[in-house]
Chain A
Amino acid sequence: MGAAIRVEGLGKRYTIAHPLQDGRYRTLRESLTRGVASLFRPRASDEEFWALRGVGFEVPRGQRIGIIGRNGAGKSTLLKLLSRITDPSEGRLTLEGRVASLLEVGTGFHPELTGRENVFLNGAILGMSRAEVRAKFDAIVAFGEVERFLDTPVKRYSSGMYTRLAFSVAAHLDPDVLVVDEVLAVGDAAFQRKCLEKMEDVNASGRTVVFVSHQLAAVRRLCNRCLVLEGGHLALDSTDVDAAIGAYLRGDGAQEAVWEGTPAGAPSFAPRRLALTLDDGTPLRGAAPVSSRIRVELDAEVADPDPSLVAGLAVFDEAGELLFVSHFTDGPERDWPRVEPGMLRLACALPGGLLNEGAYRVEVVAELRCRESILEPGRSPAAVWLRLSGGLSESPYWVSRRPGILAPRLEWRGRLPG
């Protein structure tokens, strides 16, 4: 008794068949020919891969647990296992009470349906009964601030309205255990704050929350325990959330700041590698001084070039606040790198003395201009952490982090009188 979630030796294995070779999906024809072929020789083409292995922990009722880790550390897999979307390959999972998972806001929302209809639809998908949705309907609508558009099809909603309505349905779930993914990365800052407050309310009522996020500040604010995943294993488990986050950032920094991709993106732009190096080309390990220029190398596979491709970086602070976006098409058109089928290799540099001490998330973002988003800021899996520490100034007064996000050194001089 007492544990809302018990995880014992949990593991999930995926089989990777021909990666991206002939499309993402298996066809019957292929399976038949492979089946016949395997009668004569053992199948060697399939590769096994443990996304998660040997993970065990227990979450007492009422605890708010944050799960952090780099991309590919197994966070999403763990989340999918906890929310019963996929089955473990080994180990055991015990859930006590009603579990609701929120891996995306607005799952199942249909553009043709009105706001009112979508509230009922989405509520049912999240596991609410119609009576429950009816009882909470007014509260949901008020929280989402969409009263006037209740009978408008959501295809006519702005993305902000859409997100607000979708989130408010989710926010009114009343489960014993709430499993939440990176859902707060959407919506405007004011609404994000409102959501965080709502989730704190949820906590106050003694609910168990599992929260996965890149937004370390949100984890810090919301959680009273923190798990760090690394390479599919549990690297750290601590009720001192600040310490765990600090250790995660340090541990993360000790490794090279390189992301090498599991397939992401689209045929017009699929990032494969993102690496940060120092100015002399040596890979960045640990923290870099604030004053140093950081070079960024970005390689992406382009199978199907599109003239409207816009790609580059988005840089977030630790709180998940977007600081800036930079694209390879920011200069005059004649200077843009040519986009041709094959590997597109891009480089740029983050100027020294721009950002303050701290941890920053550098993401690959891309879109087909005004048409289609490929990798949206805040949702891109192709990302690395950049840690800056020291190198602030030679001034004896400037010894530690200054308030504020930026740390530029302006040139001060005395003016001659007159």
Chain B
Amino acid sequence: MSPGTGGPAPREVVVIEAGRTEGRYWRDLWRYRELFYVMAWRDVVIRYKQAAFGVAWAVLRPLLTMAAFAFVFGRIARLPSDGVPYPLFVLAAMLPWQLFSGSISDGSLVLVTNANVVSKTYFPRMVLPASSVAVNLFDLGVSLGLLAALMGWYRFAPGAGLFLLPLALLPLVALALGGALLLSALTARYRDFRYAVPFLVQFWLYVSPVGYGLDAVPARYRGLFQANPLAPLLEGVRSCILGRPLPGGWVAYAAACVSAGAALAVGVAYFRRVERGFADVI
């Protein structure tokens, strides 16, 4: 039970003053964690209820994209995959990519689609973009089952690096949450942002090592590719899953982690600055 629910507990006092953001924001956020679980649970239930194929949809989407990428990059372009079956090679980066892209595309719309709830109740608005990320983490879990099945099919044994997967996902989640916060706030304020996000996602996919490996990028462009913080992070996840050395080196990886942290900080800061006005603009 949260404090303030019971009778004997001391009543909490909230003071709201014009032009001053109140100090208890993070405590409030913690108190509303149940709402966060429920919102994430709602979106998961609805997603799997509504889709015609139910859970099959969560498997089919990465599977078909993976098949197309594996064919185009593996068979037609004949890019290297370090001896790993190309479909596995693609899928190992496709899953974290979908975590990221799903989080920012769902997240960008989450305030608008929940406008009714936002304009009728109080809660820390951060709950909503955070639940978008949580739903995509759930999808990732489902897709990991697909990956395991594919590994069985190819008789491919993952290395001990697999245990590092949660750690490798951490900066990716930070980047996804930062992006979701920033884009949700921008979309709430500027409605035309919702048209920009699908393009942003598509463009980002092309410049990120999902269908191809960072190794396949000619050396003189590699620095440019690694400036994209997503590139080392996706390669990091792929390396964990496939148990191979990290391409691109640790310096680039560390820099990407720092960028992800910075993205989260910027997302939180911007979101908090405009959050209080959401109910007035939505």
Contact = CB atoms under 8 A, between A and B. Distances in A.
Nearest to A105: B120
Nearest to B43: A110
B38 A120 contact: yes
A21 interface: no
A28 B45 contact: no
A108 interface: yes
B276 A113 contact: no
Interface string B1-24: 110110000011111111100000
B16 A129 contact: no
Contacts of B39: 124
B119 A84 contact: no
Nearest to A15: B280
B116 A107 contact: yes
Most chain B beta-carbon neighbours within 10 Å: one of A14, A31, A86, A131: A86
A129 B13 contact: no
A113 B46 CA distance: 7
A83 B18 CA distance: 15
B49 A108 contact: no
A86 B279 contact: yes
Contacts of A92: 15-18
Most chain A beta-carbon neighbours within 10 Å: one of B2, B120, B186: B120
B117 interface: yes
Nearest to B119: A85
B46 A124 contact: no
Contacts of A85: 118-122, 279
A112 B46 contact: yes
B272 interface: no
Interface residues of A, number: 48
A80 B17 contact: no
A113 B45 contact: yes
Contacts of B190: 26-28, 31
Interface string B86-122: 0000000000000000000000000000101111111
B73 interface: no
A176 interface: yes
B18 A90 contact: yes
Interface size class of B (residues with CB under 8 A): 35 or more
Contacts, number: 130
Contacts of B193: 28
B4 A98 contact: yes
Given A25-B191, A94-B14, A124 B120 contact: no
Contact of B5 (A29, A96, A98, A110): A98
A121 B37 CA distance: 10
B155 to A, nearest CB: 41
A126 B46 contact: no
A369 interface: no
B192 to A, nearest CB: 4
Contact of B14 (A14, A89, A95, A125): A95
Contacts of A264: none
Contact of B279 (A80, A90, A95): A80
Contact of B191 (A26, A88, A117, A131): A26
Contacts of B114: 108
A141 to B, nearest CB: 18
Contacts of B202: none
Interface string A110-132: 10110001001100111101111
Given A85-B120, A86-B279, A26 B1 contact: no
Contacts of A94: 13-16
A103 B16 contact: no
A26 B121 contact: no
A108 B13 contact: no
Given A110-B46, A112-B46, A117-B45, A124 B38 contact: yes
Given A94-B13, A107-B116, A129-B5, 6 more contacts: A26-B190, A26-B191, A95-B14, A98-B4, A110-B46, A121-B42
Pairs A-B, 4 closest by C-beta atoms: A28-B190, A84-B122, A124-B38, A97-B11
27 contacts: A26-B281, A80-B279, A81-B16, A85-B119, A85-B122, A87-B277, A88-B17, A90-B19, A92-B18, A94-B13, A94-B15, A95-B13, A95-B14, A95-B15, A96-B12, A97-B11, A97-B12, A98-B11, A104-B120, A108-B114, A108-B116, A108-B117, A112-B50, A117-B45, A121-B38, A124-B34, A126-B121
Interface of B: 1-2, 4-5, 11-19, 32, 34-35, 37-39, 42, 45-46, 49-50, 114, 116-123, 186, 189-193, 276-277, 279-281
Interface of A: 11, 14, 25-29, 31, 80-81, 83-99, 101, 103-104, 107-108, 110, 112-113, 117, 120-121, 124-127, 129-132, 174, 176
